[in-house]
A and B are shown apart, each in its own frame.
Chain A
Amino acid sequence: MPDTITINGTDHTLPSDPRVSLLDFLRHDLGLSGTKKGCDHGQCGACTVIVNGMRINSCLTLAALHDGDDVTTIEGLGTPENPSALQAAFVEHDGYQCGYCTPGQICSATAMLDEIKAGFASDASESLDGEMEASADEIRERMSGNLCRCGAYANIVAAIRDVASQGETA
C-alpha cells in the first residue's frame, strides 16, 4: 500500500511535503480537528493517537513515514450518539473542564487499558511480572504523558477506573 494511511477505517493519501507531522496531517489536511496540538514537542499528550494499537504523540512523527499504518483518533473511537465506554465515563465523571486535553486523554486511556491487559509494566508496578492492576497509582503513572491544564485529574482517574472495573475498553 504505497503512500496510503488508514485513519479510522478510511484510506487517505499521504502528504508530499515530508515536513508534515502526523498531527498537522490529521488536523490541517484532513480536517480531523479532534486531535489537539498543545505543545508540538512531546510534552503534553494532547496530540495522542493510536497507531497500529500503540498510543503515540502525533506531533513528533512524520506523516510520510506512516504509509500502511492504521491510525485511530478520537473521532474513530465513538460518536456523541454512540460513545465508547471511556467517552461515556468522561462525561459521567466530569473528566474535564475546558476539554482541550480530553481527546488525548481518552485515546491514551483506551490504549492504556489494553496495555494493562497485555501485562505491560509501568514505573509504578511493584513487580515487572504477572497481572497488572488498574489501581489509582498505576493509572496516574501510566497517564502521566497527558497533562491537564485545568487539573481535572481526579475525575479523569475516576472515569478510567470506572471503565477498568467494567473490564471493557471500547
Chain B
Amino acid sequence: MRPFDLQRPDSLEHARNLSTGETATLIAGGTNLLDLMKLQVEVPERVVAIDRLGMNEIQATEDGGLRIGALVTNTATANDARIRSDYPVLARAILAGATQQLRNRATTGGNLCQRTRCYYFTNIDQPCNKREPGSGCGAIEGIARLHGVLGTSSSCIATYPGDMAVAMSALDATVEIVSADGSERSVPVRDFHLLPGDTPWRDNVLETGEIITAVTLPALVEGKQLYRKVRERSSYAFALVSVAAIIAMEGDTIARADLAFGGLAHKPWYDPRLSDLLVGKAPDAALFDSAADLLLENAQGYGENDFKIPLARRTLAAVLAEATETEL
C-alpha cells in the first residue's frame, strides 16, 4: 500500500472541506477501498475517514418512506424491522451479498460506490480504460465471464457488482448528496450509476468532493417483493445475474411490475418498458418471454459471458412466475 495521510473529521462540514481535491478519497467501512489500495488500483494521497460523521440512522420520512444514513451498515439495514416488513426485497438483496463479516462493515454509501470486480481493473499489469484511461480494455477480447451484456461500450464492458443497489433501483430510491460547498442534490438510484460510454473511469454521477449522506426509500409499495441472485456458488459470490422485483396483481392481471437487474451492465439495469409491457396483462409463459425479448433486445455477449443472455431470460421468467404464482 502506498503511503497516505489519514484524516478523520468529526463534522460533515469539516469532511466536505477535506474531501475536495483529486487526491482525497473517502473511506467508510473500507472493505472495498482498502482491498483496492493494497492492489495499488487506488492510490490516494489523502484518505478521509467519514466514520465519525453520524449518518448512521434509519429514519421515517414525512411522506411515509425511510431514510437510510450513508453510514448505516448493511447488517443494520437488513435487520431493521421496518426494512424487513416493508422492503423485504432490500433486506434479501443485502443478505445475498458478501458475508456477515463484510456486511458488518459495509455501509450504504460504500456499497453504492463499490467498484467493478473486472479482473483487468484489479490487476495493474493489465490494460484497463477504467483504471488507466486510454490503456485499452483487456476484457473485451479476454476473460469476460463476469462482464456486461447490456449498455456496454467499445471502451469498457464491466459490470456494477453490487446487490443492494439493484433492489434500491427496483424500489425507485433516491441518493442524497452534499457537495463541498454545502449545496445538496438528490439523484434517483436509477440515474446514479453511469454507463461506461467513452468515460469508463466514471462509475457514477458523484463529482469530486461530493459525499453521499443518505438513501431515501419511497413510501411502502403494494405487491410481492423478490430478489433472486444466480451465482457460481450458493454463497459468498458476486451475481452472474440477479433480479429484484416488486410485482402486484389485481385479479388476474399484473397491476405493478418494477424490475431491476444486476450482473448485466455497468449499473443496476432498469428498463421502464418492461413495466409498460407487463402491466394490465395476464401472466403466462408467453408474456414472460416477450418481456425477456424486450429486456435483451440489444444484448451483446463477449464470448465468455454469452451465457448471461439465456440466463437472464430464464431468471426473469422464474421470478415473474413465482411472483404471479404462474406455472411455467
B-contacting residues of A (Cβ < 8 Å)? 18-19, 21, 40-42, 45, 48, 54-57, 60-62, 64-65, 108, 111-112, 115, 119-123, 125, 128-129, 140-142, 144-145
Contacts and interface: CB of A to CB of B under 8 A. Distances in A.
Contacts of B91: 121, 128
A57 B3 contact: no
Contact of B100 (A40, A65, A142): A142
Interface stretch (B77-85, B168-176, B189-197, B272-280): B77-85
Nearest to B227: A123
B51 A65 contact: yes
Given A42-B35, A141-B235, 13 more contacts: A18-B4, A19-B4, A42-B31, A60-B31, A60-B102, A61-B105, A64-B6, A121-B91, A122-B95, A123-B92, A123-B235, A142-B100, A144-B236
Nearest to B102: A42
Given A40-B38, A56-B104, A60-B34, A123 B96 contact: yes
B25 interface: no
B75 A65 contact: no
B38 A121 contact: no
Contact of B99 (A41, A128, A145): A145
B18 to A, nearest CB: 14
B101 A61 contact: no
B8 interface: yes
Nearest to B122: A41
A19 B100 contact: no
A115 B100 contact: yes
Interface string B226-246: 000000001110000000000
A62 B6 contact: yes
A60 to B, nearest CB: 5
B9 to A, nearest CB: 13
Most buried by A among B8, B35, B51: B35
- Nearest first, the 3 closest Cβ-Cβ pairs linking A and B are A145-B99, A144-B235, A18-B6
A160 B105 CA distance: 24
B164 interface: no
A75 to B, nearest CB: 19
Contacts of B96: 123
Interface string B1-43: 1011110100000000000000000010111001100100000
A42 B101 CA distance: 9
A48 B4 contact: no
Interface size for chain B: under 10, 10 to 19, 20 to 34, or 35 or more residues? 35 or more
Contacts of B4: 18-19
Given A60-B30, A144-B235, A65 B99 contact: no
B32 to A, nearest CB: 8
A60 B105 CA distance: 9
17 contacts: A19-B1, A45-B99, A55-B104, A56-B101, A57-B31, A57-B101, A62-B6, A64-B6, A65-B30, A108-B101, A111-B100, A112-B100, A120-B75, A120-B79, A121-B79, A122-B100, A144-B235
A141 B100 CA distance: 9
Given A48-B101, A56-B104, A18 B47 contact: yes
B49 interface: yes
Given A121-B79, A121-B84, A62 B30 contact: yes
Contacts of A21: 34
Contacts of B84: 121, 128-129
Contacts of B31: 42, 57, 60-61
Most buried by A among B5, B8, B47, B102: B102
A81 to B, nearest CB: 29
A61 B34 contact: yes
A118 to B, nearest CB: 8
A111 to B, nearest CB: 8
Interface in B49-106: 49, 51, 75, 78-79, 84-85, 88, 91-92, 95-96, 98-102, 104-105
A54 B29 CA distance: 13
Contacts of B102: 42, 57, 60, 145
Nearest to B33: A60
A129 B92 CA distance: 12
Nearest to A19: B1
Contacts of A48: 101
A169 B35 CA distance: 31
A60 B4 CA distance: 16
Contacts of A40: 38
A55 B75 CA distance: 11
B235 A60 contact: no
